[in-house]
Amino acid sequence: MPTTAKAAAPFPSSGGGGPVRAAVPVARTGLLLVAVSIAVFTATDVLPGDAASVRATPGATQEQVAELRAQLGLDRPAWRRYADWAGGLLTGDAGTSLVNGRPVADAVAQRGAATTALVGGALLVAAPLMLLLGWWAGAARRTRGVVTAVLTGAAAIPTAVVASGLAALLSGALGLLPAVSLLAPGVSPLRSPELLVLPVLSAALPTALFGAGLLSGAVADTLRRPHVADARRRGRPAWAVACVDVLPFLLAPFARVVAISAGGLIAATTVVETLFGYPGLGSLLVSAVAARDVPVVQAIAMLAALVVLAGLLAADLVAAAVSPRRTGPLGEAR
C-alpha cells in the first residue's frame, strides 16, 4: 500500500537549515514594521486638527495657539518629528501625552494587563471554537457552501451589535452578569472573572465565526486528500483519522488564522471596551483619537501592529516546523 506508507512517513519539515529559513520571515517582519510605522505616523499626522487647536479654547488668539503648538513641539517639520519618534520607540521611549504631559509608556502599561486578559481570554474561547466550526463547515459535503456563507454572514455582524445583544440577554434579561465591566484601580481583571465574560464573548464570537470561515477551506482540502480516503477505506476509526490524518495538516493554516484573528481581536477591543467601560488599551485608543493625543494613538497602533506581525511570524515559524509535507495544496500556498 504505497499511499499509506507515504502518508505515514515522517516528512522532513524543511529542506534547508532552520535558522536560514527563519531569517527570511524575521527580516520581512522587520521591514513590515518600518512600513507600518511610516503609515501610522502619516495617518495620525493628517487627522484634522492638531493637539494645540484641540487644547486651545475658542477664545484663544492665533498667537496663543501658535505658542501652544511650539510648546508641544508640533511646529517642527514632519520628517523631523518622525525621526525623533521612531528613534524614541527603538530606545523604548514612546514620548509624552500631549493632553496631560505624562509618559505614554505609563498609560499603556497601566492598561496593557487588562487588554491582555481580554484578548487572551477571547483567543482561548475563539481558537477551539473556530477549529470546531471550521471543521464542521469543511466536513459538510453538499451544504458546505451554505454553511460557509452563514458563518461569513454571521461574522459580519458588527461587534457592537453582538456586544449589545449579549449584554441585553445575559445581563438585562437573565441578570447573570454585570452590564459594565469596571475594574478597580490596580486590580487584575483575573480577580473578577465575571467582569470578563461579556467583553470576552463579544470579542470572541465574531472572531471565531470569521476564523471558521477561513479554516473551512483548508479542512475541505485536507479531507479530500487521498491518504484520508485511504485511511477511511482501511477502516481506521473516525477519531483516529481526525487526529492522525487530518489535524497535522491543519496546524499550519490554523496557526495563521489564529494570528490573523489576534489582530481582529485587538481591533474589536476598541468597541467592546468602550461599550462595557472596560479600562483597556482599546478604550484608551478611542479616547486618545478624540483628544488628538497623537503620541498615545501612535504607541497603541504600533503595539497592535507589533502583536499582529509577531503573531504572523510565529505562525510562519510554527508552520515551517510542523508542516508534515512540503507539497500538496497547503505547502504550495506558502
Partner 1 sequence: MRLRSVLAAACATVLVAAGCANESAPAEETASVLRYAAVGSPAATTDDPHGRVANEADYLRFAMLYDVLTVPDEHGEIQPRLAESWEPVDGDLTRWRIDLRDDAVFSDGSPVTADDVLFSLRRIQNKGAENNGRLSMFDLDSSQATGEHELELVTARPYAEVGAALAALTFVVPEGSDDLTEPAVGSGPFVLGDGDDTTAVLERNDDWWGPAPGVERLEIIAMADPAARAAAVTSGQADVAGSVSPTVADEHADADGLQVVHRAAAVNYPLVMDLDSEPFDDPDVREAVKLALDREQLVETVFLGHGQVGADIVSPADPSAPDTAPVDRDVERARALLADAGHGDGLSLTLHTTNSYPGMEETAVLAAGQLAEAGIDVQVEVGPPDTYWAEVWNVESFYLNSLGGSAFVDFARMALVSDGPVNETGWNNEEWDADFTAALATADAAERHDRLADLQRRVADEGGYVVWGTGDGLDLAADTVTGLPTGPGFHRLFIDQVGVDG
Within 13 Å of residue 250, how many CA atoms lie on the same side as its CB?
30
Q: Is 50 in the site for partner 1 (CB under 8 A)?
A: no
Q: Is 171 in the site for partner 1 (CB under 8 A)?
A: yes
Select from 13-21, 82-90, 103-111, 305-313 the region that touches partner 1 (CB under 8 A). 103-111
When the beta carbons of 67 and 221 are compared against partner 1, the nearer one is: 67
Q: Is 15 in the site for partner 1 (CB under 8 A)?
A: no
* x/- map, 254-273, partner 1, by CB under 8 A: --------------------
Q: Is 53 in the site for partner 1 (CB under 8 A)?
A: yes
Beta carbon of residue 272, minimum distance to partner 1 (angstroms, whole number) = 12
Cell of 214: 477561513
When the beta carbons of 20 and 290 are compared against partner 1, the nearer one is: 290
Beta carbon of residue 27, minimum distance to partner 1 (angstroms, whole number) = 30
Select from 84-92, 145-153, 182-190, 301-309 the region that touches partner 1 (CB under 8 A). 182-190
Q: Is 46 in the site for partner 1 (CB under 8 A)?
A: no
Q: Is 191 in the site for partner 1 (CB under 8 A)?
A: yes
When the beta carbons of 178 and 331 are compared against partner 1, the nearer one is: 178
Please report where in the chains the cell 474561547 appears, as a residue: 125
When the beta carbons of 299 and 309 are compared against partner 1, the nearer one is: 299
Decide if 326 contacts 11 (C-beta within 8 A).
Answer: yes
Count the residues of the shown chain that bind partner 1, applying the rule CB under 8 A. Answer: 60
Q: Is 10 in the site for partner 1 (CB under 8 A)?
A: no
CA distance 184 to 265: 24
When the beta carbons of 222 and 274 are compared against partner 1, the nearer one is: 274
Q: Is 327 in the site for partner 1 (CB under 8 A)?
A: no
Greatest pairwise CA separation for the chain in angstroms: 87
Q: What are phi and psi of 103, to 5 degrees?
A: -60, 135
Q: Is 310 in the site for partner 1 (CB under 8 A)?
A: no
Q: Is 65 in the site for partner 1 (CB under 8 A)?
A: yes
Select from 81-89, 121-129, 205-213, 325-333 the region that touches partner 1 (CB under 8 A). 121-129
Q: Is 275 in the site for partner 1 (CB under 8 A)?
A: yes
Beta carbon of residue 110, minimum distance to partner 1 (angstroms, whole number) = 5
Binding site for partner 1 (CB under 8 A): 48-49, 53, 55-61, 64-65, 67-68, 96-97, 99-102, 107, 110-111, 121, 124, 128, 131, 167, 171, 178-180, 182-187, 190-193, 243, 247, 251, 274-277, 279, 283-288, 290-291, 293, 296
